[in-house]
Amino acid sequence: MSKKTIEDIAVSGKKVLVRCDFNVPLDGETITDETRITAALPTIQYLLKNKARVILCSHLGRPKGEFKAEFSLAPVAKRLSALLGQEVKLASDVIGESAKGLAASLKDGEVMMLENVRFHKEEEKNDEGFSKALASLADVYVNDAFGTAHRAHASTEGVARFLPAVAGYLIGKELSVMGKALEDPIRPFVAILGGKKVSDKIGVINNLLEKVDSILIGGAMSYTFSVAQGGKIGKSLLEADKVELAASLIKKAQEKGVKLLLPVDTVCADDFSNDANISVHEAGRIPDELEGLDIGPKTIELFAAEIARAKTIIWNGPMGVFELPNFAIGTIGVAKAMAANEGAVTIIGGGDSAAAVEQLGFAGKMSHISTGGGASLEFLEGIELPGVAALNDK
């Protein structure tokens, strides 16, 4: 990465505005998954140890531009205080008197948090005045919110125009692990893509076809590829307007010498429910009245064998409707195969696949689990993330 990081600048005695991704899931005031908070700790601890005056900011949920108590960052400030072993003072506003007062009275090695930046509609509009007001609170800006780095918002992009702007450790790690995989992978390099829509993943498939040795496609999007090959998919999800595109991606893979593996069998159901009657059918031969909801056992074997041979593996998107236990078996199979390949660099591209890996207890077995689903997808597409582009070059 050619962007400056917190280690490239002096922070002692400086007011440092740090954009984190504290968009954690909440049940009332209880944080049900604190991964995003712990992921931000290395940067915060480094700054405190080096006597910076730390001003944290983040969004949480979708309060739609106005103060709403249920979207307050108070639970995060409280949990972070416990994790850091020191008080994190929470301002009652974002750029108002409370924020300004607390920021002005911060001492070296102290930390505070602004309220939810999305309490202002100007945040998502990347409003210049709001960006300037945020910038005026601090001397330096650090972006460590990988999960929102693909958004050009005031606290992720706009503010960087008005302060020296550098990357935190989390963004640095995300970019270096995924960047290395894309630019200089240890081969064989295998990508596994799943999820619902081909349309969401076209850019990723296109870009990865230039880089990988094999690409494995599961999930609902595989049915559009099946139709492109003349298959019958019953009531399975289809993006009819993407069939030609799927055919062209299959052709591109052939031209590039990339092995594109599609499911060979499909777990089908007579209803979209966990209690549905289940049967396994050859891919492309799904009876009219049935719907494919997972990859079948032969496909799991085929994919697992390809994964076992790989030295770099990137995975984004579930292989089936993993929210229903009876159709989570393909997704579990991929997670297990990746976890078993201990010698490989294993990267989970955030979102549903990250949640699945964590639920299954395989998180510790992966080299890297991205904290940003959307951001990692755009990165894999080869798009420059605005929240990264805005940072100062080395």
Q: Is-cis flag, bond preceding 63, omega within 30?
A: no
Does 374 participate in catalysis according to the annotation? Answer: yes
* Closer by beta carbon to ligand AMP, 58 or else 299: 299
* Length of the chain in terms of residues written: 394
Residues of this chain that bind ligand AMP (CB under 6 A): 195-197, 200, 219-220, 237, 292-293, 317-318, 320-321, 323, 351-352
Q: Which of 158, 168, 195, 351 is catalytic?
A: 351
Q: Which of 180, 197, 252, 365 is catalytic?
A: 197
* Closer by beta carbon to ligand AMP, 75 or else 195: 195
* Closer by beta carbon to ligand AMP, 167 or else 220: 220
Cβ neighbours for 258, distance < 8 A, ≥ 6 positions apart:
209, 212, 213, 214, 215
Contact 363, 335 (CB under 8 A): no
Smallest gap, in angstroms, from Cβ of residue 352 to ligand AMP? 5
Smallest gap, in angstroms, from Cβ of residue 214 to ligand AMP? 20
Nearest to 269 by CA among 303, 320, 231, 198: 320
Contact 372, 338 (CB under 8 A): no
Smallest gap, in angstroms, from Cβ of residue 167 to ligand AMP? 27
* Closer by beta carbon to ligand AMP, 158 or else 373: 373
- Could you tell me the CA-to-CA distances from 353 to 92, 93, 121, 335 in Å, in that order? 36, 35, 31, 8
* Closer by beta carbon to ligand AMP, 103 or else 300: 300
The torsion angles phi and psi of 76, rounded to 5 degrees, stand at: -70, -45
The residue of the chain with the least Cβ separation from ligand AMP equals 195
Q: Which two tokens stand for residue 17?
A: 């505005």
Smallest gap, in angstroms, from Cβ of residue 331 to ligand AMP? 8
Q: Which of 65, 96, 374, 382 is catalytic?
A: 374
Smallest gap, in angstroms, from Cβ of residue 279 to ligand AMP? 14
Q: Which of 3, 19, 36, 151 is catalytic?
A: 36
Q: Which residues of 66-96 are buried (b: 16+ CB within 10 A; e: fewer)?
A: eeeeebbbbbbbebbbeeeeeebbbbebbbe
Does 118 participate in catalysis according to the annotation? Answer: no
- State how far the Cα of 67 lies from the Cα of 61, in Å rounded to an integer: 12
* Closer by beta carbon to ligand AMP, 161 or else 196: 196
Contact 265, 286 (CB under 8 A): no
Smallest gap, in angstroms, from Cβ of residue 271 to ligand AMP? 12
Residues marked as catalytic: 36, 197, 351, 374
